[in-house]
Amino acid sequence: MTKARLSAQQATVVEHVEGALLVIAGPGSGKTRVLTERIRRLLTVIPGHFRVLALTFTNKAANEMKERLSDLGDVRQRAFVGTLHSFCLDMLTERGKLVGVTSLPHIFEQFSDRKEILHKAVLQDPLLSDELDRAGDAKARNKRLDDWLQGISWVKAHPITCEFPTDDLDKRVIETYDAGLRACDAYDFDDLLLLAYRLLSSYPKIADFYRRLYKFVCIDEAQDLNEAQYAVLTALCGEDFKNVLMVGDPKQSIYGFNTSSPDYMWRFRDEFGAGEIELTENFRSSSAVVQVARSLEPHYLVEAQLPIPGAVSVLVGIDETDEAHKVVDEIQRLISSGHEDIEGNVTPSNCAILGRTRYALMAIETELKERGISYYKRLTANHENESATVDEFQLALRVLANPRDRLHLTALAKKWKLSEPKGPAPANEQEVRLIFSAMANVAKEGRASAIVDAIDAVARQTQRLDLMLGIKSLRAFADSLPEVERLVIYEDLAVLQQEWDQYLRSDGAARTIAGFMSSKALGATQQASRDGVALLTVHSSKGLEFDVVFIAGMADGVFPDYRAQGKKKEMAEEARNAFVAVTRSKRLLYLSFPKRRMMPWGDEKRQQPSCYLRQAGLVE
C-alpha cells in the first residue's frame, strides 16, 4: 500500500472492504485521495481475481485518480475509472444490440442540434406539426419546441417514475424525436443512461456478468446523482450485490437543474443498508476561507484544518469596467509581490475568476486581454470555437465518422451558403469525401477547400489515425490569412490538438474518429486546466482548487441569480453554489461587485451587495 499518510477518518474508509458504505466528505477532506487509496488497497492487498468499478461525476476527477494509480503498472488495468456516462457508452458499444445499439453510439450533445432534430421530425408529423402551429407566432412556437425538448429530457432522466408516459401527445413527441435521432444514427446524453438501465434491468444475465466482473463499486460525487443514474446503479447491483462505496457531500449539490438530488445518497443508505462515515477535516483551505464557508453553511463542521490564516477581501467597483480593473490590478499585484501564505511565486495559473454565469466575467475577460495576461475559459462543458474554420472542420469530422449524420452535413452546407444535399445519405467514408469535394467546388467560402483538404489529409492516412495531419493542414491555411483571423484559428487549433493528445493518452481500443468525437462529446478530452488565469462559471469550477480565487458579480440578482429569488428550493441551491465557489480557494479569496451595472436594454441599474457578503459579515 502507498506510504502516503492518512488521517484516522480517511484510513477507516480506505480499509473498508465488504458491504455498503456511505461517506459524507466535505470540501478539502481528501475524498479523491481516499477513493484512490481504497482502489489501490483493493487491488494490491485483497486476494482474488476481480476488477474495481470507480464511477466519477467529472473527467477531471477520473483523470486525477488514474494519474495517482499510474505507479501500479498493469494492475491498474483491473480498475475502470471514468464517468458513469463513459461506462454506459462502453457497455452499450459492447453489448447494446439487445436495446438497438449496433455500434459505438454517435452522441448529439448540443442543445441546438437536438432542437433541430426535434423540429424537423415534428414538421414531418401532421399531428405534431399542427400542434406546433397552434402555439402561435414564431416566438411561441420556439418556446413550445424548448418545452417539448425539456420534457423529453425529464422523462428520460426518470426511467422508473416516468417509464410509461401517460399523455399521448408527450409519448408521440418522444417517439418522433427518437426516430429523428436514429435516422441520423445518433443518441443524446440521456439515452446513454436510459438504454444502459434498460439493458441491465431487462436482461439479468448481462447485469450478472458485470457483477461478476466488478467485485467492488465506488461512486464519487454522490450528491449529484439523478434518478436515471441511481437506476443504472441499482439495476447493476440487483438484489444482493452490496459492495458499493458512495462518497458525496449534500452541501455541494448544485445540479438541481439537471434533476440531481442528494436524496439518492439517503436512498442508497436505506436501501443498501449502508454504514455511514463523515470526513470533517479540511486539508485545502485557509482558516479565513473556511470561516466564510461556514457563514454560508452553518452545518459545515470542520474538526481539523490547515494552520494557515489566509485572507478574504471585498473589491467594490463603480461599474463592471471598474470592477474588472480592480480584480486584474490585484492579480498583477500578487504576481509581482506574492503573498506570505502562498509558497513560491504567484503565477496566472494559481488564480481563478469565478462567475455565477458567464456574463459576470465579460468585462474581466476584456481587461485581461487588453493587459496581455494569459487566461483560458471554461464556461461550458466543451470548448466553444471562435473561428468558423475549426468549427466547420469539426462538423466535417462528425459526418466523416457517421455518414448517416444528415443534420451536420446540412449545417455544413448552410455555412458554405449551399442548398441542403439531396438524395440518400452517403453509405461510407469514401462517399462522404466525394460529397465534401463537390460542395467545396461550388462553395463561395474560400475556407471550404481548406477544410476539405484537411479532412482528406486525415482520411488518406489509413494505417493509423492521425488528426494532427488535418490540424497542420489548417495551420498552413491560417498562415495565408490576416493576423486577426490567423490568431483565432491558431487558438482553436491549439485546443483541438490538446483534446487529441488527451484522447491518445486515454485507455481504450483502437483510435477512431468516431471514438474521438464521442470522447469530445463526453468532455473526456478536455483538460481540467491550462496555463493562465482560469475564467470559470461556478458549475465548471466544481472539483478544482486554486491558491487565489476571485468571485465576480457578487450582487443580489446576479449571485444569487434573480431567477431564484423568492423560491425556497432554488435559493437553497444558490447558497450551495456560493459554498462551492468559496471552497475552491486554498489561500486567498476575493469577492467583487459593481455598484452599477449596464443592463442588456441599455439602462444602468444600481447594485446591492450579495446577501452572501452580508451573511459573512463582509459588508454592512
Query: Which of 472, 488, 522 marks a domain boundary?
Result: 522
Q: Residues annotated in the binding site, as ranges?
A: 25-32
User: Do 291 and 277 lie in a common domain?
Assistant: no
User: Do 115 and 70 lie in a common domain?
Assistant: no
Q: What is the mean pLDDT of residues 9-16?
A: 94
Decide if pLDDT at 462 tops 80.
no
Closest Cα to residue 550, out of 328, 282, 255, 286? 328
- Out of 158-172, 230-244, 378-392, 531-545, which region has the weakest mean confidence (pLDDT)? 378-392
Query: Which of 522, 545, 563 marks a domain boundary?
Result: 522
- Tell me whether the omega of the peptide bond preceding residue 560 falls within 30 degrees of 0, making it cis: yes
Decide if pLDDT at 602 tops 70.
no
Q: What is the mean pLDDT of residues 449-475?
A: 92
Residue 258 has what DSSP assignment? Answer: G
Distance CA 246, CA 269 (A): 9
Q: Which residues form the domain of 40?
A: 8-92+195-282
User: Do 507 and 550 lie in a common domain?
Assistant: no
* Within-domain flag for 103: no
CB 383 within 8 A of CB 535: no
User: Do 415 and 469 lie in a common domain?
Assistant: yes
Complete DSSP assignment for 176-193? HHHHHHHHTTEE-HHHHH
Rounded to 10°, the helix 320-337/362-371 angle is 50
User: Do 75 and 140 lie in a common domain?
Assistant: no
Tally of domains in the chain: 4
User: Do 278 and 292 lie in a common domain?
Assistant: no
Q: Could you report the per-residue pLDDT of 217-251, keeping only the tens digit for each? A: 999 999 999 999 999 999 999 999 999 999 999 98
Place of cell 468559496: 582
**529 confidence band (pLDDT: 50, 70, 90):** low
The predicted structure's pLDDT at residue 2: 41
User: Do 404 and 485 lie in a common domain?
Assistant: yes
Decide if pLDDT at 589 tops 60.
yes
User: Do 452 and 514 lie in a common domain?
Assistant: yes
Q: Residues annotated in the binding site for ATP, as ranges?
A: 25-32
Greater pLDDT, 327 or 465: 327
* Within-domain flag for 97: no
- Out of 336-350, 374-388, 599-613, which region has the weakest mean confidence (pLDDT)? 374-388
Place of cell 454506459: 88
Q: What is the mean pLDDT of residues 42-64?
A: 90
CB 452 within 8 A of CB 440: yes
Q: What is the mean pLDDT of residues 562-570?
A: 88
Sign of CA dihedral 62, 65, 70, 72: negative
* Within-domain flag for 441: yes
User: Do 316 and 340 lie in a common domain?
Assistant: yes
Q: Could you report the per-residue pLDDT of 93-116, keeping only the tens digit for each? A: 999 999 999 988 999 989 999 999
Decide if pLDDT at 127 tops 90.
yes
**Mean pLDDT for all residues in the chain:** 91
User: Do 17 and 141 lie in a common domain?
Assistant: no
Half-sphere exposure of 317 (CA within 13 A, CB side): 27
The predicted structure's pLDDT at residue 523: 81
**325 confidence band (pLDDT: 50, 70, 90):** very high
Residues 8, 12, 13: CA angle, nearest 5 degrees: 125
56: part of which helix (H) or strand (E)? strand 51-56
Decide if pLDDT at 350 tops 90.
yes
Cα radius of gyration rounded to whole Å, the chain: 25
**196 confidence band (pLDDT: 50, 70, 90):** very high
Greater pLDDT, 530 or 201: 201
* Within-domain flag for 144: yes
Query: Which of 186, 215, 237 marks a domain boundary?
Result: 186
Distance CA 144, CA 160 (A): 25
User: Do 42 and 144 lie in a common domain?
Assistant: no
**1 confidence band (pLDDT: 50, 70, 90):** very low
* Within-domain flag for 98: no
**379 confidence band (pLDDT: 50, 70, 90):** low
Q: Which residues contact 376 (CB under 8 A, 6 or more apart)?
A: 529, 530, 531, 532, 533, 534, 535
CB 110 within 8 A of CB 188: no
Distance CA 253, CA 249 (A): 7
342: amino acid identity, one letter: I
* Within-domain flag for 363: yes
Q: What is the mean pLDDT of residues 58-81?
A: 87
* Within-domain flag for 324: yes
**461 confidence band (pLDDT: 50, 70, 90):** confident
**124 confidence band (pLDDT: 50, 70, 90):** very high
The predicted structure's pLDDT at residue 509: 60
Place of cell 436510459: 194
CB 288 within 8 A of CB 309: yes
CB 548 within 8 A of CB 342: yes
The predicted structure's pLDDT at residue 421: 83
User: Do 328 and 446 lie in a common domain?
Assistant: no
* Within-domain flag for 247: yes
